[in-house]
Amino acid sequence: MQEECVQYAKTPLQALTERFGDNNVRYAKGCDILTERHSDAPVFPGDVDSDVAANLNRTSPISRDTSQVEDAAACARQSDVAIVFLGDLAGLFQTGTVGEGSDTDSLQLPGVQEELLKQVVATGTPTIVAMTSGRPYTLNGLEDQVAAVLMAFLPGQEGADAIADLLTGKVNPSGRLVVSIPKNAGAMPYYYNYKLKSGGTPIAYHFGSKYSFGHGLSYTRFEYSALTIKKARVNISDGIIALSLALENTGEREGCEVIQVYVRDLYASLVRPVKELKAFKRVALQPGQRAEASFAIPVDMLNFTNRNNQRMVEAGEFEIMVGASSSDIRLKGRVEVVGENRVLDRDWRMESQARVELF
């Protein structure tokens, strides 16, 4: 019996052509990431004897050929909108640019992709970047010149249709970053829940994140208001921090917002992070629709590890921050946890609760 080869996944080009038609989509490759895949990737020279290392081919397999860039720029000049797909080529041990054994020492896009984007942007055609990658990359200021950036990571078998649905407006984007995208590789590892340094330590302003943990835009706007903390004081043994707020879709499209609740321990026996995510809730609203979102956070979730490697909760003041991302805080309040400091039992309450009522 003859077996038939079946294609299970589309390319983004196929998905976009299905939506706009063959006559309305132009395509140019732009550049290669790798022209050949080799499985004999060299290891770090310190791992092998020097005479062996001397014979290893340590030339990067990533393409630096820019001969196809002008074709992409010409394609953009003839178009109303340019969509530039950038990112990684998946593969193990340097058979790709991301995957096991395919590490990087830079936040630059592999190969000549940044030059490709620069040339397309220079045409003046509104440009959308669709990033399919396994790690964050910086665009070195080009983020501020493009019309939009869609971070798709490595989206899987249905990724092409999902990307096309988002770009065409069939679906309103509602994803949020689960990592921060740093401005500079010198800031790595970068995370939103950092701890403040000692007084007088200078801040490198070229560090930080271009897009922070929890960030994400949509085709509509949301307004936060009326933060209410039910009790200003809660018991350290079994208390629950209960809060509510109002959310309104003030735009012209239906959309989904992700309300994020962060907490900061203002005074503690050890230095604590500037904020930690403790609860979140996705809320879908029609234009002009309002909702009340309520959250319940057990005091057990305010714990940290003490010097004896025990999880403990300390009494004191905590700042409650509600917003659209870790850097876009819209509402703030405070609550005081009262009672004797305590070490958590083996079974402790580690899950917050959320409820939404639509109006």
Domains of the chain: 12-171 (3.40.50.1700), 222-358 (2.60.40.10)
Q: Is 328 helix (H, G, I), strand (E, B) or coil?
A: strand
Helices (H), the chain: 12-20, 50-54, 69-77, 113-122, 159-168
Interatomic CA distance for residues 286 and 250, integer angstroms: 9
Residues 6+ apart with CB under 8 A from 295: 241, 242, 243, 244, 261, 279, 281, 352, 353, 354
Query: In Å, how far are 30, 86, 124, 139, 339 from 115, measured between CA atoms?
Result: 10, 11, 15, 10, 60
**Measured CA distances, 54 to 70, 104, 353 (Å):** 38, 22, 59
Contacts of 4 (CB under 8 A, 6+ apart): none
Look at residue 355 in the predicted model and tell me its pLDDT. 97
Q: What is the pLDDT along the chain (359 residues), one digit of tens a residue?
A: 566 767 778 999 999 999 999 999 999 999 999 888 776 665 665 566 666 656 666 677 888 999 999 999 999 999 999 999 999 988 887 788 888 878 888 899 999 999 999 999 999 999 999 999 999 999 999 999 999 999 999 998 999 999 999 999 999 999 999 999 988 888 778 889 988 765 555 667 677 888 999 999 999 999 999 999 999 999 999 999 999 999 999 999 999 999 999 999 999 999 999 999 999 999 999 999 999 999 999 999 999 999 999 999 999 999 999 999 999 999 999 999 999 999 998 889 999 999 999 98
Task: Fill in the amino acid letter for 226.
Answer: A
Cα torsion 73, 78, 83, 87 to 10°: value is -20
pLDDT (0 to 100) of residue 315: 96
SS (H, E, C) 124-165: CCCEEEEEECCCCCCCCCHHHCCCEEEECCCCCCCHHHHHHH
Residues whose CB is less than 8 angstroms from the CB of residue 31 and which lie 6 or more positions away in sequence, other chains included: 63, 65, 66, 68, 69, 72, 111, 112, 113, 115, 116
Nearest-10 Cα torsion for 107, 108, 113, 119: 120
Q: What is the pLDDT of residue 39?
A: 67
CA distance 280 to 259: 5
Which residues, 6+ apart, have CB-to-CB distance to 241 below 8 Å? 229, 231, 234, 263, 295, 296, 297, 298, 299, 318, 320, 335
CA 246 to centroid of chain Cα atoms: 25
Q: Specify burial of residue 226 (Cβ count, 10 A radius: 0-12, 13-18, 19+).
A: exposed
CA 88, CA 169: separation in Å to the nearest integer? 25
Q: Which residue has the tokens 């798709």?
A: 152
Cα 166 off chain centre by:
16
**Which pLDDT value is given to residue 247?**
98
Q: Which of 283, 155, 165 is nearest to 224 (CA)?
A: 283
**292-311 b/e with 16+ CB inside 10 Å = b?**
bbbbbbbbbbbbbeeeeeeb
